[in-house]
């Protein structure tokens, strides 16, 4: 225990940050060993939002467990549902109609923009600026209105189900998305002026929390955390699912490895998502929105693994089935779990004030880690 906390020699101070703290993005408890202002060791204590989701899913059927996965990484709730639906479809060999595939990708990319917006607003607020928070929520409210008209909910939408989507899109959907894109593209320059080009933010993020490419792979980092260090890890490009292999978008890579590189990866990812939506919004194919499936779904005996790219990294859903209506064992490989394990490695030797910038760029959502 003593070695885990860093050496408690003379002059070292142990402080607790959290679990109730405005900058920890959820209930994360960090035990920090300090020597003056320099960090010697950071240790995360988890479990303050452990809702035993994996045990609970062993008693829910394959149609019922989708709702609880919305609440794991609630900022990319559509993408979580998508991963579970893909796993069930892989097991039962269900063919998803083309219209449903395009609707799913549109919802995924809108969710990715909304999640990155909230990340940007919350991170700027952590570094001391309150105004970007309100700009970010203005964009998020537009996306939430679009989602609410079609899916019925603003945050935890159980819209993507095994077989397709639950309901057809609202007739207003295409016009509202086009209006949103027009408004969004005219406001993006505000982000550059307020935060990205601001000399104070740049000094607080450049050369802070440097993560090398080998360390990123060894610690299992995925998503923008790994792409900021130059590791190519976009599941949409490497193991494409749905129709991502037919779309034209770039994988965003930066090679600095510091907090500013991870920041720029996410800002540019928002623009790539806009490109994807623009390619699809006028070409939604006609057809069914849901494949014909039986009322009670039963997966055959075996194991199935699917991976998708959420806003935070690679989410993997691993289902072991014994042939019944409920899974025998289900495991969610969450991106935040591995991204958090790298915090001690990058924070050692920095000052306490830089820890907040590092945690902000790792983009942690704690219920995703604790499940």
Partner 1 sequence: MLNEELKAAIADLLPEAVLIDGGEWVNVKVDASEWLAFAKQLRLEPALNFNFLFCLTCIDWKTHLTMVYHLSSTQYRHNMVVKVDLDANKPEVESVSSIWRTAEFHEREVYELFGVNFLNHPDLRLLILPDGWEGKNPLRKDFEDPINMIKL
Partner 2 sequence: MIEEKTKSIAFPGQVHELPGGGVMLSKLDDVINWARSNSLWPLTFATSCCGIEYMSVAGAKYDFSRFGFEVARATPRQADVIIIAGTIVNKMAPVLKRLYDQMADPKYVIAMGACAISGGPFFYNTYSVVKGADHIIPVDVYVAGCPPRPEALIHALLSLQHKIKSGLTREQIRTTPIEQITH
What are the tokens at 361? Answer: 């760029």
Residue 84: CA count within 13 A, CB half-sphere = 28
d(CA 164, CA 97): 7
Out of 152, 197, 287, 302, the only residue in the binding site for partner 1 (CB under 8 A) is 302
The whole-angstrom separation of Cα 210 and Cα 228 is: 10
Question: Is residue 179 within the footprint of partner 2 (CB under 8 A)?
Answer: no
Closest CA to 70 of 192, 154, 188: 154
Which of residues 183, 238, 243, 285 is near partner 1 by CB under 8 A? 238
Q: Is 292 in the site for partner 1 (CB under 8 A)?
A: no
Q: How far apart are CA 34 and CA 12, in angstroms?
A: 5
Q: Which residues ranging from 156 to 175 are in contact with partner 2 (CB under 8 A)?
A: 156
254 makes contact with partner 1 (CB under 8 A):
no
Binding mask 121-150 for partner 2 (x = CB under 8 A): ------------xx--xx-xx--x------
In the list partner 2, partner 1, none, the entry touching 141 (Cβ below 5 to 8 angstroms by class) is partner 2
d(CA 89, CA 241): 12
Residue (50 or 292) nearer to partner 1, CB? 50
Distances (CA, A) of 176 to 79, 108, 112, 127, 147: 21, 16, 17, 33, 10
Residue 328 interacts with partner 1 (CB under 8 A): yes or no = yes
**92 or 320, CB closer to partner 1?**
320
Per CB under 8 A, which of residues 44..63 are in contact with partner 1?
Answer: 46-47, 50, 52, 54-55, 59
Identify the burial level of 318 via C-beta atoms within 10 angstroms of its C-beta, where 0-12 means exposed, 13-18 middle and 19 or more buried. Answer: middle
3-state secondary structure of 351: strand
Single residue of 11, 36, 47, 353 touching partner 2 by CB under 8 A: 47
Taking CB under 8 A as the binding criterion, the range among 25-33, 107-115, 126-134, 330-338 that sits at the site for partner 1 is 330-338
The partner in contact with residue 156, picked from partner 2, partner 1, none with C-beta cut-offs of 5 to 8 angstroms by kind, is partner 2
**Using the rule CB under 8 A, is 50 a contact of partner 2?**
yes
Contact (CB, 8 A) for 263 and 362: no
Cα–Cα dist 178/222, whole Å? 31
Give residues in contact with partner 1 (CB under 8 A): 1, 3-4, 46-47, 50, 52, 54-55, 59, 215, 217-220, 222, 231-233, 238, 302-303, 305, 307, 314, 316, 318, 320, 328-329, 331, 333, 337-338, 340-341, 370
């Amino acid at each position: 225990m003593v070695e885990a906390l860093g050496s408690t020699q003379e002059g070292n101070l142990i402080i607790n940050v959290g679990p109730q703290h405005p900058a920890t993005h959820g209930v994360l408890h960090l035990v920090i060993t300090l020597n003056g202002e320099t960090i010697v060791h950071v240790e995360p204590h988890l479990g303050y939002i452990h809702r035993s989701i994996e045990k609970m899913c062993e008693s829910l059927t394959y149609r019922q467990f989708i709702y609880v996965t919305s609440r794991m990484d609630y900022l990319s709730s559509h993408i979580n549902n998508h991963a579970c639906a893909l796993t069930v479809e892989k097991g039962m060999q269900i063919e998803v109609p083309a219209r449903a595939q395009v609707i799913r990708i549109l919802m995924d990319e809108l969710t990715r923009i909304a999640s990155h917006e909230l990340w940007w607003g919350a991170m700027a607020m952590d570094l001391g600026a309150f105004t970007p928070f309100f700009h970010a929520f203005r964009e998020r409210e537009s996306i939430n209105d679009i989602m609410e008209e079609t899916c019925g909910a603003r945050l935890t939408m159980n819209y993507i189900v095994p077989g397709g989507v639950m309901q057809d899109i609202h007739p207003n959907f295409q016009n509202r998305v086009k209006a949103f894109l027009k408004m969004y593209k005219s406001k993006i320059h505000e982000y550059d002026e307020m935060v990205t080009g601001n000399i104070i933010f740049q000094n607080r993020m450049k050369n802070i929390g440097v993560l090398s490419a080998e360390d990123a792979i060894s610690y299992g980092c995925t998503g923008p955390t790994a792409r900021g260090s130059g590791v190519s890890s976009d599941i949409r490009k490497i193991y494409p699912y749905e129709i991502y292999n037919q779309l034209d978008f770039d994988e965003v890579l930066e090679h600095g490895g510091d907090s500013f590189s991870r920041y720029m990866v996410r800002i540019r990812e928002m623009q790539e998502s806009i490109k994807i939506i623009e390619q699809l919004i006028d070409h939604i194919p006609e057809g069914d929105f849901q494949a014909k499936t039986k009322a009670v779904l039963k997966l055959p005996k075996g194991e199935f693994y699917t991976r998708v790219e959420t806003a935070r990294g690679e989410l993997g859903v691993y289902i072991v089935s014994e042939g019944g209506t409920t899974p025998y064992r289900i495991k969610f490989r969450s991106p935040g779990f591995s991204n958090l394990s790298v915090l001690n490695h990058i924070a050692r030797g920095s000052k306490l004030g830089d820890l907040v910038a590092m945690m902000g760029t790792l983009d942690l959502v704690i219920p995703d880690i604790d499940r």
